[in-house]
Structure 1
C-alpha cells in the first residue's frame, strides 16, 4: 500500500526493449506526447542503435513494456536495419528463441519482475518479434526505431514513462548491455479519479451507486478482501460496454470510482464488478 500522496498520482511506467542479438545497445531519442485524454490512442517512437559483435545466429526481437494496468498496448513494431512486427507473449507462449537463461515466457516475466518490480497498479506486457534476423559482423552501427501504439487508461494523473534497452540472454545488470531513459512524463486528463486507500474488509462487495438517479456523475464503491484482478465496466440496455472504469490488479481494500455519463444518453445502465471468482451486476439510472 502506498501512503505517500505523490505516489498515488505518479506511477512509473517503464518500457523495456530487449533485443536477442549480441552487442551494445543505446537509446538515442524518445518521441512521445506529454499529455493525453483518457481513452486516447497514442504513438511512441524510441530510436535505438546496436553495435554488433561476431554473431551470425538467427535471433528474434523481444520487447517488454511496464505500464499502468489500465493502459493497453496495441502493437509493437520496429524498422530500420532491423524490421519486423511483434506478437503478444503470454505465460503459455513459447519463446521463438531460447538462448541464455530465458527458456519460456514465464521465466522472462519472472526475471523482469525480479529486476524491475512493477509496483502497485502496474503490469508487465511482453512482445516478441515474429521475424528472425541474421546480421554479419560489420563496422557500422545498426539503427532502428521501435514504434509502440497504446491506448491511454481511464485514470487521471501524471505518469513518468520510462524506457530501458537491454538483452534478453544476459543478466539485465551486466554493464554495457543496458540503456535507460526514465524522465518522460505524460499527463492524463478526462478520466476518473480512483481512491485506492486500503481498509480491512472481509468479503467482496459492490455498492449501489450514489446518487441514483444521477446527472451526470455518480460514485460506485466496491470492496475486495484479497489482492485481485478487478474489472468494473458499465453497459447499456443492449449489453454493450460503454465504459471501463477499472481494469487491473488491486490490493485488498475499499475503493470508490466516479462514473461520468456526460457523453451518454438518459436511460438505464448496468455496472458489473468482476474480481477473482466474484461477479455482481447492479442497475443505475442516468436522468438528464
Structure 2
C-alpha cells in the first residue's frame, strides 16, 4: 500500500505545456476581474501576509481510468478563494470563474463552488514544503470535489469572473464537460495485477474516494463470490481518499480475481457501468487478477 499522503515527487502530473513555466514570485501577481464590483491585483507578498489555511485534499484527473493512478492526496497551504471572491464582489448573473495559467491553460470553475465552505484555495505550499515548480509554483488552485481540468490551474495569474455562456476553458472547448464533479471511485492496489503471492494469508488493500461526500463503506468480491466488507482506515475529511484493507485467510494455489466497490457518505453505491474518461470521468468497478503459489 502506498502512504496516505502522496510524496511530492510521486504526485501525478498532467500538463499542457511542454516546458514547466518558471515564475519569479517577486514578479508574480494575480489579476481578479470581470463581472465584479471591485477589480484588483494580488501580489505574492500580499498572499504570504494573508490568513492562510492548511488542509488535506485528494486531487483526481478526469482522464484517470478505472483503477488508474492519476489521483493523489496532499496537505495544501493556501488562501481561501472564497475570500478572494468576497473582496471582488461578483455581480448578478456571474456563474463561472475562468482561471488562466501563465502558459495559456484555462479552467472553467462554477462560481458557487469557490464561494461555499469547502477549502478551495490559492495554494503556495504542498506537504509542508513550498509548492514545487512542476506543481504550479508559486501559486496554483486546489478545489475539492472537482476534477483538475475544471479547477486545478497551476501557475495561475488571472481569475475572470464570467459566465459559462460567455467563456470556455481549455478542455471544455475540446468537448469535455464544463462542470466536472468527481465521481465515486475505488481501486485495488495490493496485490498488484498479475502478482504472485504465497499461499495462506493474503493481504488485500487499496483506496476509495468521493470528494465532498466521503466514503461510508467498501466491499470486495473474491472469485465471483459474495461481497464482503473491507476494513476502513480513519477519514481525514470528506475531501480525501480513504484507505481500505482485507485479510484473506487460507488462500490456495491458483489464479484469483478480486473486485472492489465503494459507497459514498450518503450510502450511494459507485456506478458499476464501464465508461471511459471522456467527457466527464470514468466509471466502473476495478478488478485485478493475481496468482497464489
Q: Tell me the TM-score normalized by structure 1.
A: 0.27
- Which structure is higher in strand share? 1
- Which structure is higher in helix share? 2
Question: Structure with the greater relative contact order (CA < 8 A, sep ≥ 6): 1 or 2?
Answer: 1
Q: Tell me the TM-score normalized by structure 2.
A: 0.26
